Every structure is written in structure tokens, then in C-alpha cells.
């Protein structure tokens, strides 16, 4: 029975009760909704699960005309529309997945004033035909979802979003609300500026997700570590495991399934049918694990995701926050778990060095990675570090619900170890023709006569064997932390270790290097310990 919800237009709270069946607004929802209903523009920063949708759906219902929602999540539009229709809201969408007739129907409904909400893909608004169509109907509000996609340096940049500034010029009287779950101060500014919303009121909710426990462990044998974590803490729970490559997505899903944990893969290389089937199983079932690339999850509203695990390092804190934010939307205790190792750092640096983009782009990518590494290596509360990254003051210096708060890491004076590594790099650097990565440096320090050590006479170096006091895993941890602290760097496609501007102060003994002591690792084979 279409139109039940809107047979009569009521106030915001009345609409919340009648259409959505909820008792009360949450957080700042009501203030935001009132502002938009009154015709004001708004920029809303709210963490995932905070309840952004109601902030535009209710104004769309309360104000006359159709609310136009711009969303990049084409794959989810049908679901979103179905969900609204089930509540009696007259909703429709327009995107490239529709045939001519379907689009015609939606257009006719919009023009006849028979829609409360219409979802559009951003690329539609580049078409004059779409703008003309919108001009011929009545619009209550423009909602720009996932608004961080307009930020050129962000991790989800979509050029089509830049065209959205046209909305304010063409419909100055229609309020606009831009929403995102991801925004540093810089992104926030960029949203306001690029969408042309100088007069918008800003609503910034706390980014704290108190029910999520943050943990980052040194990577030894990641699949086994993951299995142990799941068996001990999340047996039978629904969760997402993020991996960087399609290959490791497949391998991880298979490994978990073989070991008694029901898991399916999800990545862009699978056919659409399989992807849709795995996604809908995940949404429907209680205890399914999805192993996925970051292609999975944007806009997925499953309240009872009990854990999000990362087997590879995300490229930025924004990405990490958004991905881990998919856990625990229902407010119940959940875990964000990550295994992270030297190879992650080397690989990401290589990707940046060898990747496309100009110098400025590389520098930005590099500083995103630096912030992510700082979060991984910190001996302080991870939650405080996260909040401060997003420009928010933590309520307390230690949250009591992250690994560093629960078992504060010991630190040790790694100055001598750092000097050993740096002096080896200096000696290798003298052999200009040949470039060497972390593996060779560690083999030399540990006094290993490998074929490659012998080939280059590295057993003749004065530093050969001076690092027998630490294990290989410990050395890898030292190199990783030096990389994170910027006391050493990697270069080129082979991940050659090179000195940085700050290396000199360590070699010259003007500076101490304090390192995080890592929890003892489970015994693993040598190949596994190489990340």
C-alpha cells in the first residue's frame, strides 16, 4: 500500500514514530533534522552506524517534494529503496543498472509528485537531461551521502562528486545536507568548499566507538593467528576479514573453512552473482565470516558484525576507521583486530613509490601511511590516538578497551640495535651498484652465510654477525619500527633500505631510540615468520 507513510505529513518526531517505529532521536539527529526541515544547509560528520540516514530521510518526508539522495553505492540502491518501501515510504532510484522502462517509470512518478525519496548516482547529475528532469519536479532536500568522495586527496575520491556544486547554484532554495563518516579537519574543509556550502551549519558527532576494542598484533603467521583469535573469542560470530589481494582473500576464506569457521570470499574478481549471494548470506546469517578486499562493506548495514580483522595494513587511518567501524553498530562489544608486520610497511612504501600520481600525490599517500604506522606502533592508547587524528579530544588518556591500555607495552632502549642496522645500511650503500632490502641487512647482522651474503662478500663486512643477540623476528620488528619512526626509509621496486635525514642523529649518538617490546610470538616456521 504505497503512500501510507506520507498520506499526511507530520512533524519530525511524529514521522520518526509513525514511519520508522523508533521511540526517540539519537544524539544530534533531532537538531540536524530541524535545521534542514527549516531550509538550512548542513554538513554532518557522524561515525558509521550513528544514524545518518534518518537525518535526510525525515526532512524528505516532512518537507513537500521529493528528497534527492546522491549516493555512489549503486549496488545498494535497490536494497535501500526496498527497505523504505517496506515502511510505506514512496522511494525510487535512477542509475545505470536500470532499463529504459524502469527509468521512465521513476521519472514519471517523480514528475507527478509521487515520490518521497529518489536515489541518484552522482554521474547522473553530469547529464543535462537529469538536471532538466529535476527542474521540472519538486525537490524537498538534496542529500549528498558519502560526501568525503568529493575530497581529492581522500581514499574514495570520485570525480563525479565535483560536479555536485551545481546543486546550490541551480536550486538555491533547496536545503542541502552533506554526510560522511570519514573526515579529518582537512577533508571536512574540502567538502564544504568543493560542494559550495559556505553557509552550512556543521554537526560533528564524536567519533568514539566505545564498544569496539582495538588491537594490533605483530604479524607472524597471520592466518593461524587469525584462526586462534576467532576460535578463542569469536566462534560462531559474524565478521569481516580484510586482505589486500584477491589471492589472499581466497586463501584465507579457504583456510578458515577448512578449520571449522564458515567463511566466504568477496572481491571484485568474482562474478556479480557470487558476490551478491555472499553479501546477502552475510546480511541474513548470524555467524558467517566474509573474507574481502576493501570492495566489501561500504554502506552495508549489518548491526551484529562482532569483529573486523585486518590481515594487511590499511593505507590510511581514515580507511582503518571506516573498515573497523563496520563492527558493533548495535552497540554490543566487538573487536577490531589487526596483524601487522615489516612486509606491510615495505610493500606499501613500494606501492607508493612505484605507483601512479605526481610527487604531491605520493607525498600525501606517504603521510597517510605515516599516520597509520604511528597508530600501529604507538605505546599509548589507540583510541586516543584515533580520536586525536580526527581532531577530537579523547575523554580520558587511556580508554581501558584497547590492547595498549589492557596490557601496556614495555619499551626498550633500541639505540644500539638501531645503530647496528644503520651502519650496515651505510656499508651496503657504499656498494652503489647493488641495492639490498631488509632481509639482506638482517642476514648480515645475524651472521648468516646465505648464498647472497657469500656472493657479495658480505661476510667480510665488519658488521657481519654483530647482531646475534636478537632473533630474526626481533630484528624485523626493529626495522619495522625504525621505518615507522622515519629513522630509515625504503626506496625503489626492491624495497632498498636507505638512510633518512634523521638517521645521522642516531649514528652520531645524539639521539636515543625507544622501541616497543613485542609480545613473544608463537613458534612458526622460518618462511612464515617472513610475514
CB under 5 A: which stretch of 177-185, 361-369, 396-404, 507-515 binds Zn ion? 396-404
Question: What's the CA gap between 152 and 156, in Å, rounded?
Answer: 8
Cβ contacts of 217 within 8 Å, gap of 6 or more: 225, 337, 338, 339, 340, 403, 519
Q: Does 405 bind Zn ion (CB under 5 A)?
A: yes
Q: How far is the CB of 336 from ligand ADP (least distance, A)?
A: 16
C-alpha dihedral (170, 172, 174, 175), degrees to nearest 10: 120
Decide which of Zn ion, ligand ADP, none touches 437; Cβ closer than 5 to 8 Å per partner kind: none
For ligand ADP, the binding residues in 293-312 under the rule CB under 6 A are 301, 303
Q: What sign has the CA pseudo-torsion 401, 299, 12, 130? A: positive
Q: How far is the CB of 441 from ligand ADP (least distance, A)?
A: 45
Q: Nearest Cα to 395, choosing from 209, 270, 202?
A: 209
Decide which of Zn ion, ligand ADP, none touches 50; Cβ closer than 5 to 8 Å per partner kind: ligand ADP
For ligand ADP, the binding residues in 14-33 under the rule CB under 6 A are 22, 25-26, 29
For ligand ADP, the binding residues in 45-104 under the rule CB under 6 A are 46, 48-54
Q: Does 147 bind ligand ADP (CB under 6 A)?
A: no
Decide which of Zn ion, ligand ADP, none touches 301; Cβ closer than 5 to 8 Å per partner kind: ligand ADP
Q: Which helix (H) or strand (E) holds 274?
A: helix 272-284
- In this complex, which beta carbon is closest to Zn ion, that of residue 383 or of residue 476? 383
Question: What's the CA gap between 354 and 357, in Å, rounded?
Answer: 9
Site string for ligand ADP, 323-362 (x = CB under 6 A): ------x---------------------------------
DSSP 8-state assignment for residue 18: I
DSSP 8-state assignment for residue 7: S
For Zn ion, the binding residues in 219-278 under the rule CB under 5 A are none
Backbone dihedral angles phi then psi of residue 402, each to the nearest 5 degrees: -145, 165
Q: Nearest Cα to 312, choosing from 288, 347, 278?
A: 347
Q: How far is the CB of 486 from Zn ion (least distance, A)?
A: 24
Q: How far is the CB of 153 from Zn ion (least distance, A)?
A: 29
Q: How far is the CB of 527 from ligand ADP (least distance, A)?
A: 41
Backbone dihedral angles phi then psi of residue 309, each to the nearest 5 degrees: -115, 140
Question: What's the CA gap between 376 and 373, in Å, rounded?
Answer: 5
Q: Does 402 bind Zn ion (CB under 5 A)?
A: yes
Decide which of Zn ion, ligand ADP, none touches 381; Cβ closer than 5 to 8 Å per partner kind: Zn ion
- In this complex, which beta carbon is closest to ligand ADP, that of residue 160 or of residue 301? 301
Q: Does 336 bind Zn ion (CB under 5 A)?
A: no
- In this complex, which beta carbon is closest to Zn ion, that of residue 405 or of residue 422? 405
Q: How far is the CB of 279 from ligand ADP (least distance, A)?
A: 16
**Integer angstrom CA distances of residue 64 from 4, 70, 170:** 16, 18, 18
- In this complex, which beta carbon is closest to Zn ion, that of residue 249 or of residue 381? 381
Residue indicated by cell numbers 554532518: 44
Q: Which residues pair with 180 in a beta bridge?
A: 45
Count residues contacting ligand ADP (CB under 6 A)?
15
DSSP 8-state assignment for residue 521: P
Q: Nearest Cα to 33, choosing from 242, 24, 456?
A: 24
Decide which of Zn ion, ligand ADP, none touches 54; Cβ closer than 5 to 8 Å per partner kind: ligand ADP
Q: How far is the CB of 526 from ligand ADP (least distance, A)?
A: 44
Q: Does 212 bind Zn ion (CB under 5 A)?
A: no
Question: What's the CA gap between 309 and 241, in Å, rounded?
Answer: 5
For ligand ADP, the binding residues in 195-224 under the rule CB under 6 A are none
Are the beta carbons of 82 and 88 closer than 8 angstroms? no
Decide which of Zn ion, ligand ADP, none touches 223; Cβ closer than 5 to 8 Å per partner kind: none
Angle CA 490–496–497, to nearest 5 = 60
Q: Nearest Cα to 73, choosing from 158, 191, 171?
A: 158
- In this complex, which beta carbon is closest to ligand ADP, that of residue 36 or of residue 217? 36
Q: Is 442 helix (H, G, I), strand (E, B) or coil?
A: helix
Q: Does 381 bind Zn ion (CB under 5 A)?
A: yes
Contacts to ligand ADP by CB under 6 A: 22, 25-26, 29, 46, 48-54, 301, 303, 329
Contacts to Zn ion by CB under 5 A: 381, 383, 399, 402, 405
Amino acid at each position: 500500500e504505497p503512500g501510507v507513510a506520507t498520506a499526511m505529513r507530520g512533524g519530525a518526531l511524529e514521522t520518526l514514530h509513525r514511519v520508522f517505529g523508533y521511540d526517540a532521536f539519537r544524539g544530534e539527529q533531532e537538531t540536524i533534522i530541524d535545521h534542514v526541515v527549516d531550509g538550512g544547509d548542513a554538513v554532518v560528520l557522524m561515525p558509521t552506524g550513528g544514524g545518518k540516514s534518518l537525518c535526510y530521510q525525515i526532512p524528505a518526508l516532512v518537507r513537500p517534494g521529493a528528497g534527492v539522495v546522491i549516493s555512489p553505492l549503486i549496488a545498494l540502491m535497490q536494497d535501500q529503496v526496498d527497505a523504505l518501501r517496506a515502511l510505506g515510504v514512496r522511494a525510487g532510484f535512477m542509475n545505470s543498472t536500470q532499463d529504459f522502462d524502469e527509468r521512465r517509470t521513476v521519472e514519471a512518478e517523480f514528475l507527478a509528485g509521487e515520490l518521497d525519496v529518489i536515489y541518484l548516482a552522482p554521474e547522473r547529475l553530469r547529464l543535462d537531461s537529469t538536471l532538466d528532469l529535476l527542474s521540472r519536479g519538486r525537490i524537498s532536500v538534496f542529500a549528498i551521502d558519502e560526501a568525503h568522495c568529493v575530497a581529492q586527496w581522500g581514499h574514495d575520491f570520485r570525480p563525479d562528486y565535483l560536479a555536485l556544486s551545481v546543486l546550490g547554484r541551480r536550486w538555491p532554495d533547496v536545503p542541502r545536507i552533506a554526510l560522511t563518516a570519514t573526515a579529518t579537519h582537512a577533508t571536512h574543509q574540502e567538502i564544504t568548499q568543493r560542494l559550495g556550502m559556505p553557509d552550512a551549519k556543521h554537526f560533528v558527532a564524536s567519533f568514539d566507538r566505545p564498544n569496539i576494542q582495538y588491537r594490533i598484533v605483530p604479524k607472524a603467521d597471520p592466518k593461524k593467528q587469525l584462526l586462534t583469535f576467532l576460535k578463542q573469542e569469536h566462534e560462531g560470530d559474524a565478521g569481516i576479514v580484510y586482505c589486500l589481494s584477491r589471492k589472499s582473500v581466497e586463501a584465507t576464506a579457504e583456510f578458515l573453512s577448512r578449520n571449522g569457521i564458515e567463511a566466504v570470499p568477496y572481491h571484485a574478481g568474482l562474478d556479480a552473482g557470487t558476490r551478491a549471494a555472499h553479501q546477502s548470506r552475510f546480511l541474513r546469517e548470524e555467524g558467517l565470516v566474509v573474507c574481502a578486499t576493501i570492495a566489501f562493506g561500504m554502506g552495508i548495514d549489518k548491526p551484529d558484525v562482532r569483529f573486523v580483522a585486518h590481515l594487511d595494513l590499511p593505507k590510511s587511518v581514515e580507511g582503518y576507521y571506516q573498515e573497523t567501524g563496520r563492527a558493533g553498530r548495535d552497540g554490543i562489544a566487538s573487536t577490531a583486530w589487526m596483524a601487522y608486520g615489516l612486509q606491510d610497511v615495505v610493500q606499501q612504501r613500494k606501492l607508493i613509490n612505484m605507483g601512479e600520481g605526481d610527487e604531491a600525490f605520493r607525498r600525501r599517500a606517504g603521510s597517510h601511511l605515516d599516520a597509520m604506522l604511528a597508530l600501529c606502533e604507538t605505546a599509548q592508547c589507540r583510541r586516543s590516538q584515533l580520536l586525536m587524528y580526527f581532531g577530537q579530544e579523547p575523554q580520558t588518556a587511556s580508554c581501558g578497551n584497547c590492547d595498549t591500555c589492557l596490557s601496556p607495552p614495555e619499551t626498550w632502549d633500541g639505540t644500539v640495535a638501531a645503530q647496528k642496522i644503520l651502519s650496515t645500511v651505510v656499508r651496503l650503500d657504499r656498494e652503489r651498484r647493488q641495492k639490498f632490502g631488509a632481509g639482506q641487512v638482517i642476514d648480515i647482522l645475524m651472521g648468516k652465510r646465505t648464498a647472497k651474503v657469500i656472493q657479495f662478500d658480505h661476510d667480510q663486512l665488519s658488521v657481519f654477525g654483530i647482531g646475534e643477540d636478537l632473533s630474526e623476528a626481533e630484528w624485523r620488528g626493529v626495522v619495522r619500527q625504525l621505518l615507522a619512526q622515519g629513522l630509515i626509509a625504503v626506496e625503489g621496486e626492491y624495497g632498498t633500505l636507505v638512510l633518512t635525514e634523521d638517521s645521522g642523529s642516531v649514528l652520531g649518538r645524539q639521539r636515543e631510540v625507544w622501541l616497543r617490546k613485542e609480545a613473544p610470538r608463537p613458534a612458526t616456521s622460518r618462511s612464515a615468520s617472513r610475514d
